[in-house]
Amino acid sequence: MKIATFEHQGVVQTGILLYEHVVSMDYIAERLKIPRRFPGVARDLLDLLAHYSQEDWEKIEKLSEELTPADIQLLARNGQAYHLREVKLKAPIQRPPLILCLGVNYRSHASECNKPVPSEPVIFSKSPTAVIGPEEYIVLPKISSRVDYEVEFAAITGRPAKNVSKEEALDCVFGYTVFNDVTARDIQQADFKEGKPWFRSKSCDTFAPMGPWVVTRREHPYPSRVKLELKVNGVVKQSATTADMVFDLATIIEHISKFLTLPPGTVIATGTPEGVSPLHDGDLVEAYVEGIGTLRNPVKAEK
């Protein structure tokens, strides 16, 4: 099941993606008689994760599998579903509670950066204010002379995770999305030399494109070998699979949960393969993850 956050006629809400349409989650909840536990419509996936139970999600998944193209057409006529042409897709979670990323987690990228393969996961964070959605501009800030793309496979937690074992870790995952860990490389390298953290080079406004939707773990059960690809202006720049990851997702979650509680809606970006290079004003970036889809973002320079 694919869950999208979208804007229609000025209202941001959530829905299920089916047959090139998004079916309003408001309609889904009403049809399934799921109690309304929050006012108004759900603004993004974070609202749903905070209020829907596991039983609710099982009902929603079942209904999504039963709806036919004819059902969707009827819902569209009744204003309960919208064609993708009619909506603007947004980041699945507008302001995640945490964005945690993996550094040098692909062997090929470690080699590209002349860094050793780490002995344990290298964790850093990005500011939630950097999040943007599909088709929104990545803005190249004046303070940086080199901004790079980094396609990544990302997980979103569905329940709190603290001190979970590797065997339990994936049970804490709600679903997966595409993430672009945009980086001010010159600032990052300068900070490396002075022993400073990576935060500012990773957290400029617009440096966390995410989307175009979330695929639930039931549909995408285990990401052991998933293809990633990134194109700039139609030219392939990165291409790899998650099999090249140094630490798999279960190991990452186990490691992080030892020292902090991962709240629902936490985004965990699992690292990028080799092939990073600078972005330029006017570029179009397309980040693809197998089984999820393509996240497209144009690029412009800050004025």
Q: How far apart are CA 12 and CA 150, in angstroms?
A: 28
Looking at residue 239, what is its pLDDT?
Answer: 97
Looking at residue 43, what is its pLDDT?
Answer: 87
Looking at residue 270, what is its pLDDT?
Answer: 96
Q: How far apart are CA 23 and CA 261, in angstroms?
A: 33
Q: What are the two backbone dihedrals, phi and then psi, of residue 294, each rounded to the nearest 5 degrees?
A: -120, 130
| Neighbour count for residue 108 (Cβ, 10 Å) | 14
Looking at residue 78, what is its pLDDT?
Answer: 94
Token representation of residue 85: 């042409």
Average pLDDT along the chain, 303 residues, taken 10 residues at a time: 96 96 94 81 89 93 96 96 97 97 86 80 97 98 98 97 96 97 96 90 98 92 84 98 94 96 97 96 98 97 95
Q: How far apart are CA 4 and CA 16, in angstroms?
A: 6
> Edge-to-edge strand order for the sheet containing 235-241?
138-140, 293-301, 284-289, 227-232, 235-241
Q: Please tell me the pTM assigned to this model.
A: 0.95
Looking at residue 222, what is its pLDDT?
Answer: 65
Looking at residue 8, what is its pLDDT?
Answer: 95
Looking at residue 161, what is its pLDDT?
Answer: 96
Q: Which fold has domain 2-90?
A: SH3 type barrels. (2.30.30)
Looking at residue 107, what is its pLDDT?
Answer: 83
Residues sharing a CB contact under 8 Å with residue 137, sequence separation 6 or more, in sequence order: 206, 297, 298, 299, 300
Looking at residue 110, what is its pLDDT?
Answer: 67
Which SS3 state, helix, strand or coil, does residue 143 take? coil
Domain definitions of the chain by residue range? 2-90, 99-301
Given a contact cutoff of 8 angstroms between Cβ atoms, the answer to whether 169 and 275 are in contact is no
Instruction: Give, as one character, the DSSP assignment of residue 265.
Output: T
Looking at residue 38, what is its pLDDT?
Answer: 72
Looking at residue 232, what is its pLDDT?
Answer: 98
Alpha helices in the chain (DSSP H): 25-31, 45-51, 54-66, 69-77, 107-112, 166-169, 185-193, 199-202, 249-257
Q: Per the CATH hierarchy, to which homologous superfamily does domain 99-301 belong?
A: Fumarylacetoacetase-like, C-terminal domain (3.90.850.10)
